[in-house]
Amino acid sequence: MKMWAAVLGAVLIGTVLPVAANAVEPPAKPAAQGKAPLPGASKNVELRKALPETEGAISINFMDYHHRDVMFVSGKFGLRTYDVSNPDEPVLLDHLTKQELALPGDDVAQRFWENEDVSVDPERKLVFLARERTAFGRQGGAERPTGVYIVSAADPANLQLQSFAPMGTGHITTCVNDCRYLWTTGYDGTPSTDPDTYRRSGKVFVTDIRDPRNPRTLPTYVDLNRDQGETHMTHDVQVDAAGIAWVAGTGGTRGYYTRGWHWDPLKNRFREATAIDPVPYAGGGVSKATMPTAFSHNSFRPVGRTLSDGPRPTRENPAGSLLLHTEEAFGSPTCKDQGRFVISSLTGSEQAQSWRATPDKRFELRTVGVWTPDDQEGTLPGKDTFCSAHYFDVQKRIVAYSWYEQGTRFLDISNPAKPIQVAYWRPEGSTSFAPYWHKGRVFLADLSRGVEVLSLTHDAYQAQSTGTNVTLRTTPGDAVARPAGQVRNRLPLVPDPDYGTACPMLEGRECEPGSLSCC
């Protein structure tokens, strides 16, 4: 691949058969910081393929090129593309390296970070990579550029960096309105003496990318005062099948119309919604009993073409009325007290009640269901285990769900009040970040193991059809057998210097001695 040198200058100015779950895995890299290995466990899951060269994988997306199906893997290494026309045999096409993404002043020995939810434009064949404040080891007190790289993937075997859009944040960027605009979220470093990191921020940046070579971040913001009327951090945006953009963050999840004419309950009139000036739709926070930290990480609303992926509609919970969202928090090693999967009802939130809420007059969504790995077979005990609900994906009423060191869970959500576990994947030394359903497989981004291609067995679907909660084996090595003497140790995770435990990172790898800022 070739990178346009002018781009960074402009920034300165403005073949094996599918393997079963007991197959031998590639040797692991040596562990750091003396973390003991965690025993593996699995049930009703098969490993089809492992890509250990993608260690440090964070997020995945896909695009169809008619003659080939392409996977985009974003991670600490930059961006990799794979032909997954045969999903069990990914073939590497190209690698946009972290060195090619570096800006002047970056330490290229350190990692690209974080682009936690990679977005693509399937029409114009573009990929968007959000650059975090701690990318390339940038430290507090120094210049820390943030923004979004726009990459042309017209030829996925020859990635081209088109432009970089600098802005005040760079945690996650999401397409809205057919990728003519980006909504970018995360901590923006607004100067403040407030001791609460998340109250030093609290807005979505809007970038016009109708001309992707000349992106323009606008002097206007979305989703202000999101936590019961107070400023708090935005985290991620998901656009549902009806075109509603859902912004998750501290204070819950709220949805917006971004196009068309709608009744605006705040302005008491019909008006046109745009990506720059959206109209409130529904949503809000949930009770402290359900989500103690109030930090909603990401979400999904089953509606339209995705309705059959979500819970079965009922009179109590009609079609389009449910919101699935994640609480990311690490206060419990088994997620008993926080860091859980929550299903909420949107009913009663359609008149902008959340936008009118105050700390003294709170508004909260009704909780329909909650699930955690706590008290489930296969869950690791221990005070230092990282457990938190993270990214999930849904297909045919089965949620594939990442829970960091508690592995990837597969939950049947046919009954939203009672999710049940039908399969489970927690191989030795895993740090599960995000699973993605694609072509009947689950492509899993694991920070420590890299991308793994999984499939559910017949028994998983049988468990779903019978409503049977699976019992899991917990003996070491069940998930993926390993050669004698090869131990896959745990990653030494520590809090991010800006986000705290809401964004765990690796300690002691690609970092200055004693520094926690190794993103």
- The whole-angstrom separation of Cα 319 and Cα 311 is 9
Report field, pTM of the whole predicted structure over 0.85: yes
| φ, ψ for residue 75, nearest 5 deg | -165, -170
Q: How far is CA 370 from CA 326, 343, 351, 391, 432, in A?
A: 10, 6, 25, 16, 20
**Closest to 436 (Cα-Cα) out of 161, 185, 90, 148:** 90
User: Residue 99 is inside which H or E element, if any?
Assistant: helix 98-101
Q: How confident is the model at residue 201 (pLDDT cuts 50, 70, 90)?
A: confident
- The whole-angstrom separation of Cα 238 and Cα 337 is 26
Residue 39 scores a pLDDT above 70: no
Summarize pLDDT for 123-167 with one digit per residue, the tens: 999 999 999 999 999 887 778 999 999 999 999 999 999 999 999
Neighbouring CB atoms inside 10 A of 502's CB total 21
Collapsing DSSP states into helix, strand and coil, what is residue 206? Answer: strand
**Closest to 3 (Cα-Cα) out of 173, 163, 209:** 163
**Cβ atoms of residues 334 and 379 within 8 Å:** yes
What pLDDT is attached to residue 140? 76
Question: Tell me, what amino acid is at 313?
Answer: P
What pLDDT is attached to residue 384? 76
Summarize pLDDT for 246-300 with one digit per residue, the tens: 999 999 999 999 999 999 999 999 999 999 999 999 999 999 999 999 999 999 9
Residues ≥6 apart with Cβ < 8 Å to 10? 163, 164
Summarize pLDDT for 100-118 with one digit per residue, the tens: 999 999 999 999 999 999 9
Token pair of 98 as six digits: 């972290």
| φ, ψ for residue 255, nearest 5 deg | -110, 150
What pLDDT is attached to residue 431? 93
User: Residue 50 is inside which H or E element, if any?
Assistant: strand 45-51
Residue 74 scores a pLDDT above 60: yes
| Eight-class DSSP state of 182 | E
Q: How far is CA 333 from CA 131, 336, 385, 388, 496, in A?
A: 29, 8, 5, 8, 18
**Cβ atoms of residues 445 and 59 within 8 Å:** yes
User: Residue 74 is inside which H or E element, if any?
Assistant: strand 69-75
**Closest to 252 (Cα-Cα) out of 227, 230, 225:** 227
Summarize pLDDT for 307-317 with one digit per residue, the tens: 999 999 999 99
Token pair of 32 as six digits: 């750091």
434-437: list long-range contacts, CB under 8 Å, 24+ apart.
Answer: 434/58, 434/59, 434/60, 434/117, 434/390, 434/391, 434/393, 434/402, 435/391, 435/392, 435/393, 435/400, 435/401, 435/402, 435/408, 436/60, 436/61, 436/62, 436/393, 436/400, 437/393, 437/394, 437/395, 437/400
Beta bridge partners of 395: 398
What pLDDT is attached to residue 257? 98
